[in-house]
């Protein structure tokens, strides 16, 4: 079967060139006679793969030297707890901005381990925008400020960086990392599950400023502590070797395709094409305030939800898959990560116009 255009929110589409390269190297990696999956994580071959991945990532994102890069397991969800364990004491205050499902989960988990508080939320608008920073109720004693730059389910994205003075910014960038250039030096800590924009599931990236490493509270589970992981090159135990290798191939693909500046331009253009089609029709709509719309996850509804099933079925027949919206919001969602080509978005927009002409 031919490849489809996969609009899944995650695990998500990977660049075809990366999959093909992995296939070529699958049974005999660079003449070593075995697959990367079969290599010891302590072997010089794998250490080389691991170091190259980190170097390429640092180059792509412009990670300053005083930041550590960790390749962990447990998903972004583990970091919801690891962050307070590492950065806060039980009685410390941490500020959270809640703009959708993921930030809601992050603060709920943090509340179990420190005095996490909601400094602002967009509940009132049904999580369709970002509350005006002028109205944020920040606590000057907060040991960190947490936000979710891109809400994968609601399709709400920060197109600015919060100003929090000396309070370190902590960001769950699972669904937006590598989608455009960012200034890493503005962050205290960035974390991301890999399965959206980095590579296969099983790998979790943490980029953390040096002064925030080693201040974890007493009693932090060792596997969640950043300091020993940083010291051990993320190999306190067996890391997710194959996912790490695949992430490295994705980083190289990004570099070969112009890096994050080029990726940002492509992503802006892809999202503009799709939002333009939605806004230009009376049949489709997106509820998110235009200046907060995600470049990565585009939810939309049909004027008549009775047609949802038919839309999904006909789209599937044209090779446009995984467009069903998250169960909490219904309708449709097109996730258009880095590896989704412009041709895929164009095919979707063309299909949408045809569907509207037939049933609208
Ligand atoms: C997918 C996602 C998560 C959950 O990631 P896991 O790796 O499954 O734990 C958390 N936050 C955001 C923003 C996500 O998109």
Closest CA to 5 of 343, 251, 354: 343
Q: Is residue 12 part of a domain?
A: no
Distance (angstroms) between ligand 1 centre and the Cα of 152 equals: 8
Q: Which domain holds residue 320?
A: 258-359
Summarised one tens digit per residue, pLDDT across range 47-80 is 999 999 999 999 999 999 999 999 999 999 999 9
**Which pLDDT value is given to residue 329?**
85
Give the confidence band of 343 by pLDDT, cuts at 50, 70, 90: very high
How many helical (H) and strand (E) elements, i.e. helices and strands, does the chain have?
9, 14
**Which pLDDT value is given to residue 360?**
86
Q: Are residues 240 and 284 in the same domain?
A: no
Of 256, 282, 308, the residue at which a domain comes to its end is 256
15, 32, 170, 242, 262 from 35: Cα distances, Å: 20, 8, 36, 9, 32
Query: Average pLDDT over the chain, rounded to whole?
Result: 97
* Rounded mean pLDDT, 160-170: 96
Dihedral sign computed on CA atoms, order 87, 88, 93, 97: positive
Active site residue 196: yes
**Which pLDDT value is given to residue 165?**
92
Give the whole-angstrom CA distance, residue 116 versus residue 106: 10
Closest CA to 287 of 298, 295, 276: 298
Query: Token match 């927009």: residue?
Result: 349
Domain count of the chain? Answer: 2
Summarised one tens digit per residue, pLDDT across range 16-50 is 999 999 999 999 999 999 999 999 999 999 999 99
* Rounded mean pLDDT, 330-338: 97
Give the whole-angstrom CA distance, residue 168 versus residue 166: 6
Q: Are residues 187 and 233 in the same domain?
A: yes
Summarised one tens digit per residue, pLDDT across range 196-250 is 999 999 999 999 999 999 999 999 999 999 999 999 999 999 999 999 999 999 9
**Which pLDDT value is given to residue 276?**
98
Give the whole-angstrom CA distance, residue 300 versus residue 174: 21
> Is 321's pLDDT higher than 70?
yes
**Which pLDDT value is given to residue 19?**
98
Q: Are residues 60 and 191 in the same domain?
A: yes
Domain of residue 304, CATH code: 3.90.1150.10
Cβ–ligand 1 distance for 198 under 6 Å, the answer no
Give the confidence band of 328 by pLDDT, cuts at 50, 70, 90: confident
Distance (angstroms) between ligand 1 centre and the Cα of 354 equals: 33
Cβ–ligand 1 distance for 267 under 6 Å, the answer no
- Each residue of 248-266: b (16+ CB within 10 Å) or e? bbbbbbbeeeebbeebbeb
DSSP secondary structure letters along 8-30: -SSS----HHHHHHHHHHSSSGG
Q: Are residues 271 and 215 in the same domain?
A: no
Of 207, 234, 256, the residue at which a domain comes to its end is 256
Q: Which two tokens stand for residue 218?
A: 């007493």
86 beta partners? none
Active site residue 343: no
Q: Which two tokens stand for residue 190?
A: 């960035």
Closest CA to 294 of 123, 198, 190, 155: 155
Cβ–ligand 1 distance for 337 under 6 Å, the answer no
Q: Are residues 237 and 319 in the same domain?
A: no
pTM of the model: 0.98
Phi-psi region of 225 (alpha: psi -120 to 50; beta: other; left: phi over 0): beta
Q: Are residues 176 and 160 in the same domain?
A: yes
Give the whole-angstrom CA distance, residue 313 versus residue 328: 20
- 8 A C-beta contact, residue 29 and residue 35: yes
Q: Are residues 251 and 264 in the same domain?
A: no
Eight-class DSSP state of 341: -
Give the 3-state secondary structure of residue 251. helix
**Which pLDDT value is given to residue 1?**
56
Q: Are residues 242 and 295 in the same domain?
A: no
* Rounded mean pLDDT, 111-117: 98
Summarised one tens digit per residue, pLDDT across range 245-293 is 999 999 999 999 999 999 999 999 999 999 999 999 999 999 999 999 9
Q: Are residues 39 and 152 in the same domain?
A: yes
> What residues contact residue 338 under an 8 Å CB cut-off, 6+ apart?
15, 178, 179, 197, 254, 263, 266, 267
Q: Is residue 79 part of a domain?
A: yes
Cβ–ligand 1 distance for 152 under 6 Å, the answer yes
* Rounded mean pLDDT, 300-315: 97
CA atoms within 13 A on the CB side of 161: 18
Distance (angstroms) between ligand 1 centre and the Cα of 34 equals: 32
Q: What percent of the chain has pLDDT over 70?
A: 100
Give the whole-angstrom CA distance, residue 162 versus residue 147: 9
């Amino acid at each position: 079967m031919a490849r489809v255009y996969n609009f899944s929110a995650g695990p998500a589409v990977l660049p075809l060139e990366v999959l093909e390269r992995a296939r070529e190297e699958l049974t005999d990696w660079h003449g070593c006679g075995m697959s990367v999956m079969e290599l010891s994580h302590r072997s010089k071959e794998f250490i080389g793969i691991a170091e190259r991945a980190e170097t390429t990532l640092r180059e792509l994102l412009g990670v300053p030297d005083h930041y550590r890069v960790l390749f962990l397991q447990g998903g972004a969800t583990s970091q919801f707890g690891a962050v307070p364990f590492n950065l806060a004491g039980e009685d410390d205050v941490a500020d959270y901005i809640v703009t959708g499902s993921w930030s809601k989960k992050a603060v709920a988990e943090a509340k179990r381990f420190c005095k996490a508080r909601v400094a602002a939320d967009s509940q009132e608008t049904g999580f369709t925008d970002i509350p005006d920073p002028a109205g944020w109720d920040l606590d000057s004693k907060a040991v960190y400020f947490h936000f979710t730059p891109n809400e994968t389910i609601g399709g709400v994205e920060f197109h600015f960086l919060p100003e929090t003075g000396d309070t370190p910014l902590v960001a769950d960038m699972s669904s937006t990392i590598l989608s455009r250039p960012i200034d890493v030096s503005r962050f205290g800590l960035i974390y991301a599950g890999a399965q959206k924009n980095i590579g296969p599931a099983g790998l979790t990236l943490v980029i953390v400023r040096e002064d925030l490493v080693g201040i974890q509270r007493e009693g932090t589970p060792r596997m969640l502590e950043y300091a020993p992981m940083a010291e051990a090159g993320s190999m306190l135990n067996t890391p997710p070797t194959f996912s790490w290798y695949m992430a490295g191939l994705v980083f190289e693909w990004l570099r070969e395709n112009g890096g994050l500046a080029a990726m940002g331009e492509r992503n802006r253009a892809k999202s503009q094409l799709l939002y333009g089609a939605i806004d230009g029709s009376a049949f489709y709509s997106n509820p998110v305030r235009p200046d907060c719309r995600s470049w990565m996850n585009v939810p939309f509804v049909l004027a008549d939800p009775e047609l949802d099933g038919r839309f999904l079925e006909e789209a599937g027949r044209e090779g446009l898959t995984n467009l069903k919206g998250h169960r909490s919001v219904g309708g449709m969602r097109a996730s258009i990560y880095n590896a989704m080509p412009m041709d895929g978005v164009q095919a979707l927009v063309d299909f949408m116009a045809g569907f509207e002409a037939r049933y609208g």
